C-alpha cells in the first residue's frame, strides 16, 4: 500500500525530530558528564556557576542522575568552600533517599563521604564513622580505578583522623594503632595517584599531611616534618594556593609543638597571607590567630600576643553562632536518619526518646564549647571575688606577706587562672620570675606541662580546681601530680603544696 505524500512527509519529519531530540539529549548528557569530571578535579568558590549549569542542563532533558549528582557537588561546595555545614546537610537530607535508589556508586559514596565529613567537623564522631563505613562500602564498587583509589584513600584518612588530636593522650595504644593503620591505608591508596593529574597529586599530598599530623601528636617530630614538607613541596609545584594555606598552617602547628616558635610564626603568617589574598579558607584564620598569640606569648612578646588574641576573640564570636546553627541542622539530619532506620521496627515514642537524647547530648556539647571560651562570663563577680579572697588568704599564710602592689598582681594572676585565660602563665612568670628556674634546678627533667601544674599548686589550687579550671579530668590531674612527685623526689609523707610554696 502506498502512503500518501503528505502523511509520508509528516512521518519523515517526526523521525527527524525524534532523532534530533535524542541527539540533543545525548549531547547534553555528555556536556553534563564533562562538567562533573572538571568539578571532580577541583571545587573552588567559582564552581557554583558550573554546578548550577549542570543542574539546569540535566533538568532540561530530565537527566535524573545528573540532577542528583549536581546537588551532591553543591553540598560539597557549601562544605569545602564556605564552611557552611547547615546548607550542606539540608541538601543531602533532601536528595539522599533518591540517590540511594540509584546504581551510581560513585555518587552515593561521595554523598556519604560529604555527610560524614560534615558530622566529623561538628564532633559527631560516632555518626561520622557510620557514614564513612558506608562510603567505603560503596567506594569498593566504583569501576573507575582512579576515582576508587581517591575515594577510598580519603575515607581511610578521615577514619584514621578520628583517633588523632587532643584526645590521643587519653586513648589506648590500640587506638593509636588503629589510627596509624587507617592513615597508612589512605597513603597506600593515594600512592596510586601521585603521578596523575592535578587532583590526583593533591590527594596524595593530603595523605602525606594526614600522616604528619599523626606523627606530630605522637611526638615523632622527624617523621612529622618529613611528611609535611613532602606535602608542601607537591602543592607548591602545583601552585595550589588553597592547599598551601592549609599546609603552612599545619606546618606552623608542628613547629609550635617542637617549640620552634619563630618558624611557627613565619608559617602561620604565610598561611594568613594566602587566605587574605584568595578569600578562601577564612575559617582557618581563627585557628591561626589563636596559635600566633600562643607563639608570641612563648617569645615574651606581649604586644603581638594581645593583638592576635583580640583578632581571635573577634572571629570566635561569629564562629560560635554559626557552630550552634550547624549543630541544630545536624541534629535534624541524625534524627531523620534514626526515623528512617527504625521506621518498621520502632514506635513513635521510642524514636522521640532517641531524638530527645541526641538533642540533650548536643546541648551538653554546646555548653562545654561555650564554657571553655567564656568561663569568665559564666562566673558571677561575687563568686569570683569569693574564690580570690579564699586563695589570697591561704597564699598569705604559706608565704611571706605580699605588698599591696604585689597583692593586686597576684589577684590578677589567680583571676586569669580561674578564667583559664591564655595569658595566665605569662603573667604568673612575671610575678614569680625565679619559680620555674628554681624548680628546674631541683629536677631538670620537668616539662612545660609539669611547670603548669606546679604554677596552679603554687596558687593553692586543689586537684578538683586544677581539673575544673584547666579543662582536664580529675583522674588525669591526679596522674600528673603523681608523676610530678616522683620527679621532685617527694615521699608519700611530704606535702607537695608546702614544698612548692617555698619556691
Whose grid coordinates read 601552585?
239
> Which 8-state DSSP code applies to residue 4?
P
Question: Which cell numbers hold the place of 20?
Answer: 534530533
CA dihedral 450, 451, 457, 462 (to 10 degrees): -40
What was the pLDDT predicted at 384? 62
> Which 8-state DSSP code applies to residue 1?
-
Secondary structure, 3-state, 147-191: HHHHHHHHHHHHHHHCCCCCCHHHCCHHHHHHHHHHHHHHHHHHH
Q: What's the rounded Cα separation, in Å, for the pair 43 and 48?
A: 9
Q: What's the rounded Cα separation, in Å, for the pair 212 and 215?
A: 5
Given a contact cutoff of 8 angstroms between Cβ atoms, the answer to whether 286 and 292 are in contact is no
- Name which of 205, 202, 211 is nearest 183 in CA terms: 211
Q: What's the rounded Cα separation, in Å, for the pair 26 and 61?
A: 9
- Find all residues with CB under 8 Å of 325, minimum gap 6, and list them: 86
Q: What's the rounded Cα separation, in Å, for the pair 225 and 235?
A: 16
Given a contact cutoff of 8 angstroms between Cβ atoms, the answer to whether 500 and 457 are in contact is yes
Distances (CA, A) of 109 to 20, 147, 148, 237, 375: 35, 11, 10, 30, 41
Given a contact cutoff of 8 angstroms between Cβ atoms, the answer to whether 224 and 215 are in contact is yes
> What is the pLDDT tens value at each position of the chain, 503 positions in all?
444 445 555 455 444 444 444 444 456 666 666 665 555 545 666 778 888 888 888 888 788 888 888 898 889 888 877 778 888 999 999 989 998 888 889 889 999 999 998 888 887 878 888 899 999 999 999 998 988 998 899 899 888 877 664 443 445 677 788 888 999 999 999 999 888 888 888 889 989 999 998 898 888 999 999 999 999 999 999 888 888 988 999 899 899 889 999 999 999 999 999 888 887 766 788 888 888 888 888 898 889 888 888 887 777 655 444 444 555 555 566 666 656 555 545 554 465 566 666 766 766 666 565 566 555 455 545 666 677 677 667 666 655 556 666 777 888 888 888 877 777 877 888 888 888 888 888 888 888 788 888 888 888 888 888 888 888 888 988 988 889 888 888 888 888 888 888 87
Given a contact cutoff of 8 angstroms between Cβ atoms, the answer to whether 121 and 84 are in contact is no
What was the pLDDT predicted at 338? 58
- Find all residues with CB under 8 Å of 90, minimum gap 6, and list them: 329
Whose grid coordinates read 546553627?
325
Q: What's the rounded Cα separation, in Å, for the pair 118 and 111?
A: 11
Count CA atoms closer than 13 A to 17's CA, side-chain side: 6
Cut 0.85: pTM above it: no
Q: How big is the chain, counted in residues?
A: 503
Question: Which cell numbers hold the place of 389?
Answer: 579572697
Supply the DSSP string of 331-400, one letter for each residue. Answer: HHHHHHHHHHHTTTTS-HHHHHHHHHHHHHHHHHHHHHHHHHH-HHHHS-HHHHHHHHHHHHHHHHHHSS
The packing angle between helices 381-398 and 404-418, to 10°, is 120
- Name which of 409, 404, 422 is nearest 459 in CA terms: 409
Q: What's the rounded Cα separation, in Å, for the pair 278 and 259?
A: 30
Measure CA 242 to chain center.
16
- Name which of 221, 203, 199 is nearest 212 in CA terms: 221
Whose grid coordinates read 503528505?
6
Q: What's the rounded Cα separation, in Å, for the pair 193 and 149?
A: 8
Question: Which cell numbers hold the place of 219?
Answer: 611526638
In 374-490, alpha helices (H): 375-378, 381-398, 404-418, 424-431, 435-442, 448-458, 463-470, 474-487
Measure CA 391 to chain center.
37
Helix (H/G/I), strand (E/B), else coil: 105: helix
What was the pLDDT predicted at 92? 92
What was the pLDDT predicted at 400? 54
What was the pLDDT predicted at 262? 92
Q: What's the rounded Cα separation, in Å, for the pair 212 and 230?
A: 10
Amino acid at each position: 500500500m502506498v502512503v500518501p505524500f503528505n502523511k509520508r512527509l509528516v512521518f519523515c519529519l517526526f523521525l527527524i525530530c525524534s532523532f534530533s531530540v535524542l541527539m540533543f539529549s545525548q549531547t547534553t548528557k555528555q556536556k553534563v558528564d564533562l562538567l562533573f569530571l572538571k568539578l571532580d578535579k577541583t571545587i573552588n568558590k567559582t564552581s557554583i556557576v558550573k554546578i548550577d549549569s549542570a543542574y539546569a542542563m540535566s533538568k532540561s532533558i530530565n537527566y535524573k542522575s545528573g540532577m542528583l549528582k549536581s546537588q551532591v557537588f553543591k553540598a560539597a561546595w557549601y562544605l569545602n568552600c564556605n564552611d557552611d555545614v547547615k546548607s550542606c546537610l539540608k541538601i543531602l537530607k533532601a536528595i539522599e533517599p533518591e540517590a540511594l535508589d540509584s546504581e551510581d556508586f560513585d555518587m552515593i559514596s561521595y554523598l556519604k563521604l560529604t555527610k560524614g565529613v560534615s558530622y566529623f567537623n561538628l564532633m559527631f564522631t560516632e555518626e561520622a564513622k557510620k557514614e564513612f563505613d558506608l562510603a567505603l562500602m560503596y567506594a569498593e564498587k566504583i569501576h573507575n580505578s582512579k576515582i576508587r583509589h581517591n575515594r577510598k584513600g580519603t575515607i581511610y584518612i578521615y577514619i584514621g583522623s578520628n583517633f588523632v588530636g587532643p584526645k590521643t593522650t587519653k586513648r589506648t595504644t590500640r587506638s593509636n594503632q588503629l589510627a596509624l593503620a587507617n592513615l597508612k591505608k589512605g597513603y597506600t591508596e593515594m600512592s596510586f595517584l601521585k603521578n596523575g593529574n592535578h587532583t590526583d597529586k593533591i590527594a596524595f599530598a593530603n595523605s602525606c599531611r594526614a600522616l604528619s599530623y599523626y606523627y606530630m601528636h605522637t611526638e615523632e617530630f622527624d617523621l612529622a616534618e618529613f611528611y609535611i614538607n613532602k606535602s608542601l613541596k607537591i602543592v607548591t609545584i602545583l601552585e595550589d594556593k588553597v592547599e598551601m594555606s592549609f599546609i603552612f598552617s599545619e606546618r606552623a602547628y608542628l613547629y609550635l609543638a617542637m617549640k620552634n616558635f619563630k618558624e611557627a610564626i613565619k608559617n602561620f603568617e604565610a598561611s594568613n597571607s594566602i587566605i587574605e589574598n584568595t578569600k578562601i579558607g577564612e575559617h582557618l584564620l581563627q585557628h591561626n590567630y589563636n596559635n600566633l598569640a600562643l607563639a608570641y606569648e612563648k617569645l615574651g612578646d606581649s604586644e603581638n600576643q594581645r593583638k592576635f588574641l583580640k583578632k581571635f576573640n573577634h572571629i570566635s564570636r561569629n564562629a560560635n553562632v554559626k557552630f550552634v546553627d550547624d549543630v541544630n541542622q545536624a541534629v535534624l539530619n541524625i534524627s531523620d536518619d534514626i526515623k528512617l532506620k527504625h521506621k518498621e521496627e520502632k514506635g513513635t515514642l521510642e524514636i522521640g526518646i532517641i531524638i530527645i537524647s541526641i538533642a540533650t547530648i548536643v546541648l551538653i556539647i554546646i555548653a562545654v564549647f561555650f564554657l571553655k571560651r567564656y568561663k569568665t562570663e559564666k562566673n558571677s563577680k561575687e563568686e569570683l571575688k569569693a574564690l580570690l579572697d579564699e586563695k589570697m588568704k591561704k597564699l598569705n599564710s604559706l608565704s611571706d606577706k605580699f605588698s599591696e602592689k604585689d597583692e593586686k598582681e597576684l589577684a590578677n594572676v589567680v583571676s586569669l587562672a580561674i578564667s583559664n585565660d591564655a595569658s595566665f602563665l605569662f603573667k604568673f612568670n612575671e610575678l614569680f620570675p625565679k619559680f620555674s628556674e628554681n624548680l628546674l634546678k631541683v629536677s631538670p627533667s620537668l616539662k612545660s606541662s609539669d611547670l603548669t601544674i606546679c604554677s596552679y599548686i603554687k596558687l593553692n589550687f586543689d586537684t578538683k580546681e586544677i581539673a575544673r579550671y584547666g579543662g582536664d579530668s580529675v583522674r588525669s590531674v591526679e596522674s600528673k601530680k603523681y608523676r610530678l612527685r616522683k620527679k621532685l623526689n617527694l615521699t608519700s609523707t611530704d606535702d607537695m603544696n608546702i614544698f612548692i610554696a617555698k619556691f
